[in-house]
Amino acid sequence: MSGKRSLGRFLRENAVILLFLIITILAIRPSGLSLVYIAQELITRLGRDSFLVLALLLPIYAGMGLNFGMTLGAMAGQFGLILAINYNVIGVDGLIFAALVSLPVSLLLGYVCGAVLNHAKGREMVTGYILAFFINGLYQFVVLYLMGSVIPVRSRTIVLSRGYGIRNTLNLDSVRLSLDNLLALKLGPFTFPIATFLVIAALCLFIIWFRKTKLGQDMRSVGFDMQVANSAGVPVDRTRIIAIIISTVLACIGQIIFLQNMGNMATYNAHDQTSFFAVAAILVGGASVKKANIPNVFIGVILLHGLFVVSPNAGQKLFGQAMIGEYFRQFIGYAVIAVSLVLYAWRARREADRLREGLRGGAGTPAMAEGGAK
């Protein structure tokens, strides 16, 4: 293979990553932010967001695409945090309390989500997305109407003045940065939230280990071809449900980590963009609907948030309006998801067409198909 061709291939395969790098680097100067500030922001955001993005991996292995239903887990996590605030469990204990309380909720929601997606094979992504809206309605019903009226709430400060329902914004001071500051390491101008990084590292090890277990192997064979997996005796539906349950539980813990870093919570909106940011990040990191690995997660978080850090200021300086930067970063997020999905679907179709052409050609088909793929 000639050098020119492999360069072209490298550019094609990493087009999204390169485009992001170029836009971000171009935007750094007009934003007027110092490199030290940007680097510290990226360290913080790496701790804040990586766990949520890692939650997307298992459903991709199981061939269920990007799990937009992860929002369900995020809502369960918020429910747990509300209770932690209510019972005034503070610090890391509060986070653990929130995670334990929301565990059964996220297990249940994960099961429901997996079961629904099993009825929508081939349309998992759009169904998961709508399911998140649907459960959002139930979440609002519970938090806005039942809490304080049916579910007892001890702390009156978090209840709306009308007597029931939780306030729109919740102050998380009692658990704020509790995980990040548990083991904070100061190195020069930078602060590293080591404890958070350790939790994320533990999850990475879990995922690496899980891929090697029987269940993990089953999951990948289901993702490769459901029919083949089924005839090999793998319980397809059950495996898919397990993938979604684990993803939902991880998203629940991820949202708790995310919110302890933010320090306050928009009770009814905090989960709105959870899946949007996570999915955009993993796609920017070079993953596709069918293929993803751990490096994709971290590359994606750094690239996406690099752009998010600089774009509002750059928009302010270049156009005189901060709103332009704000809209721009949302536009970029949606556009990245759209373009990645289009590229993936387009490639999959071309591959299918080529295989069909190969069949028409007759003998030596697999070799020809492979030759074409290069």
Partner 1 sequence: MPSPHPSAAAAAGDNQDLIPQKSGVLRAARRIITDFGWPRVIIFIFLVALFVAAPAVGVRIDASLSDVFNRFGQNALFVLALVPMIQAGCGLNFGLSLGIIAGLLGATLSVQLGLHGMTGFLGAIVLAAPFSIAFGWLYGKLLNKVKGEEMTIAMYVGFAGVMFMCIMWLILPYTAPDMIWGYAGKGLRTTISVENYWIQILNNLLPVRIGQFFKFPTGEILFVVLAAYIMWLFMRTKTGTAMTAVGSNPDYARSSGISVDRMRTISVVLSTFLGAAGIIVYEQSFGFIQLYTAPLAMPFTAIAAILIGGASVKKASMVNVVVGAFLFQGLLTMTPSVINSWLQTDMSEVVRIVVSNGIIIYALTRKTKVTK
- The smaller minimum CB distance to partner 1, of residues 181 and 273, is found at 273
Determine, following the binding rule CB under 8 A, whether residue 233 of this chain makes contact with partner 1.
Answer: no
- The smaller minimum CB distance to partner 1, of residues 201 and 335, is found at 335
Buried b (16+ CB within 10 A) or exposed e, 316-328: beeeeeeebbeeb
| Residue of 5, 123, 154, 291 interacting with partner 1 (CB under 8 A) | 123
- The smaller minimum CB distance to partner 1, of residues 116 and 297, is found at 116
The nearest distance, CB 176 to partner 1, in angstroms, is 30
CB atoms near residue 273 (< 10 Å) = 14
Angle at 253 between CA 46 and CA 176, to 5 degrees: 70
Contact 115, 128 (CB under 8 A): no
| Residue of 22, 88, 134, 171 interacting with partner 1 (CB under 8 A) | 134
Determine, following the binding rule CB under 8 A, whether residue 209 of this chain makes contact with partner 1.
Answer: no
The nearest distance, CB 132 to partner 1, in angstroms, is 9
Give the CA count within 13 Å in the CB-facing half-sphere of 225. Answer: 4
Determine, following the binding rule CB under 8 A, whether residue 163 of this chain makes contact with partner 1.
Answer: no
What tokens does 253 get?
């813990």
Determine, following the binding rule CB under 8 A, whether residue 130 of this chain makes contact with partner 1.
Answer: yes
Of 32-40, 48-56, 76-84, 130-138, the segment contacting partner 1 by CB under 8 A is 130-138
- List the interface residues with partner 1, window 57-96 (CB under 8 A): 65
d(CA 329, CA 312): 8
Q: CA-CA-CA-CA torsion for 344, 346, 348, 349, nearest 10 degrees?
A: 160
Determine, following the binding rule CB under 8 A, whether residue 356 of this chain makes contact with partner 1.
Answer: no
Site string for partner 1, 293-322 (x = CB under 8 A): --------------------------x-x-
With a CB cutoff of 8 Å and minimum separation 6, the contacts of 181 are 193
Determine, following the binding rule CB under 8 A, whether residue 136 of this chain makes contact with partner 1.
Answer: yes
Determine, following the binding rule CB under 8 A, whether residue 26 of this chain makes contact with partner 1.
Answer: no
Determine, following the binding rule CB under 8 A, whether residue 154 of this chain makes contact with partner 1.
Answer: no
| Residue of 137, 152, 188, 362 interacting with partner 1 (CB under 8 A) | 137
- The smaller minimum CB distance to partner 1, of residues 103 and 130, is found at 130
d(CA 195, CA 197): 5
Of 140-148, 206-214, 219-227, 292-300, the segment contacting partner 1 by CB under 8 A is 140-148
d(CA 85, CA 178): 14
d(CA 177, CA 253): 15
Number of residues that this document lists for the chain: 374
Determine, following the binding rule CB under 8 A, whether residue 357 of this chain makes contact with partner 1.
Answer: no
Give the CA count within 13 Å in the CB-facing half-sphere of 78. Answer: 27
The nearest distance, CB 319 to partner 1, in angstroms, is 7
Q: Which residue has the tokens 């999905």?
A: 341
Determine, following the binding rule CB under 8 A, whether residue 349 of this chain makes contact with partner 1.
Answer: yes
Determine, following the binding rule CB under 8 A, whether residue 273 of this chain makes contact with partner 1.
Answer: no
Contact 232, 95 (CB under 8 A): no
| Residue of 18, 36, 138, 198 interacting with partner 1 (CB under 8 A) | 138
What tokens does 229 get?
């997996």
Q: 70 exposed, middle or buried (CB, 10 Å; 0-12, 13-18, 19+)? A: buried
The nearest distance, CB 119 to partner 1, in angstroms, is 4
| Residue of 96, 341, 355, 368 interacting with partner 1 (CB under 8 A) | 341
Buried b (16+ CB within 10 A) or exposed e, 13-34: eeebbeebeebbeebbeebebe
Number of residues located near partner 1, criterion CB under 8 A: 39
Q: Are strands 264-266 and 190-193 parallel, antiparallel or unpaired?
A: unpaired
Residues that bind partner 1 (CB under 8 A): 65, 116, 119-120, 122-123, 125-127, 129-131, 133-134, 136-138, 140-141, 144-145, 319, 321, 323-324, 327-328, 330-331, 334-335, 337-338, 341-342, 344-346, 349
